[in-house]
Amino acid sequence: MNYKIDDAIRNMHPDMYCKPCDQHVLTTQTRRLSPFQVIDLSCNYLCIDKEDLISKKRYARLVDARYMISDLLYNDTFLNLTLLNIGIILGGRDHTTILYGRKVVNNMIFSEPQYKEKLKELHLHVYHTLSYFNH
């Protein structure tokens, strides 16, 4: 395959070719990670200690991180975790806490566009694709 010729044709007729975007789901293989790998990668990206994440601390930054990570874990179709399982993994929290966190994430996505971008970047960092991003 000659990439120079393909690029030249695309440059001559740019309106005929779609640019890559998040509206066209690519059929790439998603990463199959354990819940603990998802938490480790997310904590690394968000610059949060894992011990603080699963602690009882209620700083806004930690609560927000818990909500985003619970959203990641819930939307991961490979793991297929329940709200109760996610709560246990995130420090022994109740399933209603995880449910409330999902509502908060959905509300934040619709009210603040930069929050949606931050969550999308987290999905890309953890899974290297937006396959599990359902917002």
Q: Where are the domains of the chain?
A: 3-127
Predicted local distance difference test score (pLDDT) of residue 1:
45
Predicted local distance difference test score (pLDDT) of residue 133:
78
CA-based radius of gyration for the chain = 18
From first to last of its 135 residues, what are the pLDDT tens digits of the chain?
A: 445 555 555 555 555 445 555 554 444 556 788 899 999 999 999 999 999 999 999 999 999 999 999 999 999 888 889 999 999 999 999 999 999 999 999 999 999 989 999 999 999 999 888 777 777
Q: Who's near 114: CB < 8 A, 6+ residues apart?
A: none
Predicted local distance difference test score (pLDDT) of residue 96:
95
Compute the C-alpha angle 37/66/129, nearest 5°. Answer: 50
CA nearest neighbour of 123 among 8, 9, 115, 84: 115
Fold of 3-127: Chromosomal Replication Initiator Protein Dnaa; Chain: A; (1.10.1750)
Q: Who's near 15: CB < 8 A, 6+ residues apart?
A: none
